[in-house]
Amino acid sequence: MAATVAYRPRPGEIPTDPGVYRFRDADHRVLYVGKAKSLRARLSNYFAPLHTLHERTRRMVTTAASVEWTVVGNDIEALQLEYTWIKEFDPPFNVKYRDDKSYPYLAVTLADEAPRAIVTRRRGIPGAKYFGPYPKVWAVNETLDLLLKLFPIRTCKDSDYKRAMQSGKPCFAGQIGRCFGPCSGAVTVEEHRANVARFVAFMQNQDRRIVTVLEQQMRAAAAVQDYETAARRRDELQAAESFFEKSAVVLREHVDVDVFGIDHDELAAAVHLFTVRGGRVRGVHSWTVDTELDMTLGDLVDSVVQHAYGADLRPPAEVVVPALPDDAEALEGWLADRGGRKVRLRAARRGDKAALLETATQNARQTLMLYKTRRSADFTARSRALEDIQESLGMADAPLRIECFDVSHLSGTNIVASMVVFEDGLLGRTSTGASRFRARATTPIRSTRS
């Protein structure tokens, strides 16, 4: 085995400045994107003797045919450029996330004549007030159903609302008791906006005193034999109690923090996120990660945090992680840019936040164990199949990674290729591309005969 790869740059050619580097294969495809405080120090790790590299790092380095770098002004710029290129090129050796969905929110469209409450993944609705994020759509729908019993406000579509106001007939949602807007005739636009204001104020403060008030009103109505009002207050009281039961108090009031629990091994990692707002757990989110290269926990934290806040999740003032990455200060600056305020990144060692971090880590540990259990199911049959392939092809070792390609075209045009990857006998990743192959389609394939 060669001591290192042939394309290794000379040590003096690599600058010592911060920057972002890219490894490319022979077809110029980007295989891996990384950042560094010192490009020379970081890249020298990849060009150590091949037998000293971790297996996955060695596979990336030997698959690549070149390396290039871009110098930037500081660590924050390096982090921003790395994030942009990972999103653009989707390099196969960077961390692969299995859950890349945006988070659902509960939004109140305050800019509308008659504001409505909606469940949406879309951020940036003009004049809207957002609450969340929530772990699943069903969770925010369940929360909204409870809150509508306390604060009846509009939920119908704008088109239905306009049609109902013009015709004087309540929308369908209003007819079945699912919408409580002005088109129902029960409230005016001004009264409805007052209900919306109470709804928003409760979502912001979530004052438990509403339970005491509702109970007093229920008993007072029952005492004067106003049983209809007492029944409504009873239903509202049950809704309020159910709402607070679903939001466990874990930290002091007014504390906003995101807590990342991570458990990992050489092949994969699991992440468990607790979203705490106002001292209560408002969201729980889990996902798994395939790690193509040898990564420290700090490197993994760096990648996980970028992924979590790279879409539409706004970071709170504090983010708790199991370990700080080397570029923690730069990452805080990047988070501040995403959130529009100062963000503190910390590794909690004691106290309530450390206890919550341990709980999140335990959940991540369970998620990783379940993931590995499912991957290892029917291990004997997969091992036997891989051994059969090894024997049939005369290979020295069993093929632990298999890449299958197929190319289709229409008379030499509209060329599309697909790739399917099997790792340890299990289906891993699939990808399809068209544009990247069109440039090569103009060059005919030549063959030679000996």
pLDDT at residue 246 greater than cutoff 60:
no
Residue 311: what pLDDT?
Answer: 62
In a domain, 419, yes or no: yes
The confidence band for 197, taking pLDDT boundaries of 50, 70 and 90, is confident
Higher pLDDT, residue 1 or 428: 428
Claim to verify: residue 141 and residue 34 sit in the same structural domain: no
The confidence band for 441, taking pLDDT boundaries of 50, 70 and 90, is very low
Residue 319: what pLDDT?
Answer: 93
Question: Any idea of the CA torsion for 281, 270, 333, 357, to the nearest 10 degrees?
Answer: 40
pLDDT at residue 253 greater than cutoff 60:
yes
pLDDT at residue 439 greater than cutoff 50:
no
Residue 314, domain CATH: 3.30.420.10
Higher pLDDT, residue 446 or 293: 293
Claim to verify: residue 291 and residue 368 sit in the same structural domain: yes
Tell me the mean pLDDT in the region 225-243.
76
Least confident of 33-42, 84-93, 380-389: 380-389
Residue 323: what pLDDT?
Answer: 92
pLDDT > 70: percent of the chain = 84
> How buried is residue 79: exposed, middle or buried, by Cβ count under 10 Å (0-12/13-18/19+)?
buried
Tell me the mean pLDDT in the region 33-50.
90
Residue 365: what pLDDT?
Answer: 86
Claim to verify: residue 112 and residue 69 sit in the same structural domain: no
Least confident of 107-116, 182-191, 414-423: 182-191
CB of 103 closer than 8 Å to CB of 312: yes
Tell me, rounded to whole angstroms, the distance of Cα 388 from its chain centroid: 39
pLDDT at residue 199 greater than cutoff 50:
yes
Claim to verify: residue 361 and residue 403 sit in the same structural domain: no
Vertex 367: Cα angle to 362 and 369 (nearest 5): 95
Least confident of 216-220, 337-341, 413-417, 431-435: 431-435
pLDDT at residue 99 greater than cutoff 60:
no
CB of 143 closer than 8 Å to CB of 106: yes
| Cα 331 from Cα 33, distance rounded (Å) | 17
Higher pLDDT, residue 141 or 98: 141
Residue 63, domain CATH: 3.40.1440.10
The confidence band for 245, taking pLDDT boundaries of 50, 70 and 90, is low
Higher pLDDT, residue 126 or 185: 126
Tell me the mean pLDDT in the region 100-127.
79
Claim to verify: residue 156 and residue 57 sit in the same structural domain: no
| Cα 396 from Cα 404, distance rounded (Å) | 20
The confidence band for 414, taking pLDDT boundaries of 50, 70 and 90, is confident
Tell me, rounded to whole angstroms, the distance of Cα 211 from its chain centroid: 35
Claim to verify: residue 123 and residue 87 sit in the same structural domain: no
Claim to verify: residue 346 and residue 422 sit in the same structural domain: no
Residue 447: what pLDDT?
Answer: 33
| Average pLDDT value for the chain | 79
In a domain, 223, yes or no: no
pLDDT at residue 435 greater than cutoff 50:
no
Model-level pTM greater than 0.85?
no
The confidence band for 266, taking pLDDT boundaries of 50, 70 and 90, is confident
pLDDT at residue 254 greater than cutoff 90:
no
Claim to verify: residue 384 and residue 336 sit in the same structural domain: no
Of 211-225, 377-391, 427-441, which one has max mean pLDDT? 211-225
Least confident of 18-22, 23-27, 417-421: 417-421
The residue among 311, 262, 310, 265 whose CA lies nearest residue 287 is 262
Claim to verify: residue 369 and residue 384 sit in the same structural domain: no
Claim to verify: residue 341 and residue 399 sit in the same structural domain: no
Residue 322: what pLDDT?
Answer: 93
In a domain, 247, yes or no: no
Residue 423, domain CATH: 3.30.420.340
Tell me the mean pLDDT in the region 269-295.
79
Of 9-23, 82-96, 209-223, which one has max mean pLDDT? 9-23
Residue 362: what pLDDT?
Answer: 85
In a domain, 242, yes or no: no
Q: What are phi and psi of 49, to 5 degrees?
A: -50, 135
pLDDT at residue 376 greater than cutoff 80:
no
In a domain, 240, yes or no: no
Claim to verify: residue 199 and residue 145 sit in the same structural domain: yes
In a domain, 449, yes or no: no
Query: Which residue segment(s) compose the domain that 48 sits in?
Result: 11-94
Domain edge (last residue) among 94, 127, 142: 94
The residue among 106, 130, 109, 115 whose CA lies nearest residue 191 is 115
Reading the block at residue 164, the tokens are 């109902």
Domain edge (last residue) among 375, 390, 412: 375
Claim to verify: residue 371 and residue 384 sit in the same structural domain: no
In a domain, 263, yes or no: yes
Domain edge (last residue) among 338, 355, 375: 375
Residue 217: what pLDDT?
Answer: 80
In a domain, 369, yes or no: yes
Amino acid at site 366? Q
The structural domain count of the chain equals: 4
